[in-house]
Structure 1
Amino acid sequence: MSLAHTILGFLQQEKMTGYDLKTSCFDRCIAPLWSADQAQIYRTLDKLVGQGWITCTVEIQHDRPNRKVYNMTEAGKAELIRWLQCPQPLPTLREPLIVQLFFAAQLPNEAIVQLLEQQLTARNEKLAKCKNVELPMLGDRFTSREQMMQKLVLDLVIRREQTYIDWLMTAIDVIRHQRDGEIGEQGSRGEF
């Protein structure tokens, strides 16, 4: 996924500053999906201005530093539409914990369980953050098609985290009930 296209997606909704993009959009809205630090956002904004996909207007402020406000151009809208219509390849997930577990047979069970429990804690925290993302809705009804799409994405992220949590709990249970170095009857066939 492209940081540039993510920024274009936010700027299609309204013009905003780099600071607004970081705090209101990346930190509060899509943190479970995509993260970016302030420096990455500002570098990408400069590139987008250079490509003609957004403009930058300096707003003079007398009591504070001047603000750079970014707005999407027609060329930027066209690029966002082009990107939205492109099928995306399946990502290659690189999860260090999974690779650790692949080789973890050399560790005692308690050490493996500890790794899994640490991940379980982190995943539960992420799930709680996902569930606390606030999408503006009127009761159970969406106020816009855009909000409906955002809700569908958020539901997927929540389900994915819950599935990972369920798997971690199963893995912890399986390892706790095995003696170090022992393979159960079914374990040799890849079943639990």
Structure 2
Amino acid sequence: MSLAHVILGLLQQQQRTGYDLKTECFNQTIAHLWPADQAQIYRTLDKLESQEWITCQVEIQIDRPNRKVYSLTAAGEAELQRWLQTPQPLTPGRDPQLIQLYFAGQLPEATIAKILQQQLSAHRQKLAECEAIASRSEVPRLVTDAQLCARQHSIQQLVLDWLVQRERAQIFWLETLLDRFNQSSSGS
């Protein structure tokens, strides 16, 4: 999967500027599935435009910089449909927190407890963000087919529900680990 396919999917929902992609999509929802910074988004938009998968229309503004509004082309739609129908491989996860814990046995107990508390706090914050996203999630109503729109919303909600459940599982695991660690260190 690439950032290009994420952007194609977002532009299929509606026309957007690069700024809109970053602030409305990546900052508010997609970041928990596929993070991207502003520079990555704009580089990818340039690449997609050169491949003729999207077009750009410049909207002249008098008191602000001109807006570049991006739209999906027929070729972009075909590429998105091709990608959507292609099974995706499992990707190995990179989790710096788990790797840190894997080697943390050599640290003092107080340091390990502090690391676990920090991770627990970070996952609680992420859970709150995911729950907020899931509660306000709406599919753009540009899809005219009501059944398709309902299906799209249902699938997106299931993905958001999975994000919430994943964070709850992480929190449960960290709480269990912290309890076990505290029990073993108080028994020593």
Q: TM-score, normalised by structure 2?
A: 0.89
RMSD of the alignment, in Å?
A: 1.8
In structure 1, the residue corresponding to 2:32 is in which secondary structure?
coil
Larger helix percent: 2
Paired residues of 1:17 and 1:69 also in contact (CA < 8 A): yes
1:139-174 deviation per Cα after TM superposition (whole angstroms, max 9, x unaligned):
xxx962211111010001111111011000000011
Paired residues of 1:8 and 1:76 also in contact (CA < 8 A): yes
For residues 104 and 181 of structure 1, the distance between their equivalents in structure 2, rounded to whole angstroms, comes to 19
Superposition deviation, residue 180 in structure 1 = 8.3
In structure 1, the residue corresponding to 2:184 is in which secondary structure?
coil
Superposition deviation, residue 28 in structure 1 = 1.3
In structure 1, the residue corresponding to 2:11 is in which secondary structure?
helix
Paired residues of 1:109 and 1:180 also in contact (CA < 8 A): no
For residues 106 and 62 of structure 1, the distance between their equivalents in structure 2, rounded to whole angstroms, comes to 62
The corresponding residue for 2:40 is 40
Superposed structure 1 runs of 4+ greater than 2 Å apart:
179-182
1:110-130 deviation per Cα after TM superposition (whole angstroms, max 9, x unaligned):
211110110000000000000
For residues 177 and 108 of structure 1, the distance between their equivalents in structure 2, rounded to whole angstroms, comes to 15
Q: Which moved more, 1:155-164 or 1:96-105?
A: 96-105
- The amino acid of 1:165's aligned partner reads I
For residues 172 and 14 of structure 2, the distance between their equivalents in structure 1, rounded to whole angstroms, comes to 39
Larger Rg: 1
Superposition deviation, residue 106 in structure 1 = 1.4
The corresponding residue for 2:108 is 108
1:21-80 deviation per Cα after TM superposition (whole angstroms, max 9, x unaligned):
111111112222121111110100000000010001111112221111100000000000
- The amino acid of 1:166's aligned partner reads F
Aligned residues: 178
1:152 aligns with 2:158: yes
The corresponding residue for 2:138 is 136
For residues 54 and 136 of structure 1, the distance between their equivalents in structure 2, rounded to whole angstroms, comes to 24
1:165 aligns with 2:171: yes
- The amino acid of 1:176's aligned partner reads N
For residues 86 and 97 of structure 1, the distance between their equivalents in structure 2, rounded to whole angstroms, comes to 31
In structure 2, the residue corresponding to 1:11 is in which secondary structure?
helix
The corresponding residue for 1:178 is 184
- The amino acid of 2:184's aligned partner reads Q
Structure 2 unaligned runs (5+)?
Answer: 140-147
1:56-108 deviation per Cα after TM superposition (whole angstroms, max 9, x unaligned):
11111122211111000000000001111111111211112211222222122
The corresponding residue for 2:80 is 80
Change (3 A) 1:109 1:21: same
- The amino acid of 1:39's aligned partner reads A
The corresponding residue for 1:190 is none
For residues 106 and 65 of structure 1, the distance between their equivalents in structure 2, rounded to whole angstroms, comes to 55
- The amino acid of 1:167's aligned partner reads W
Structure 1 unaligned runs (5+)?
Answer: 183-192
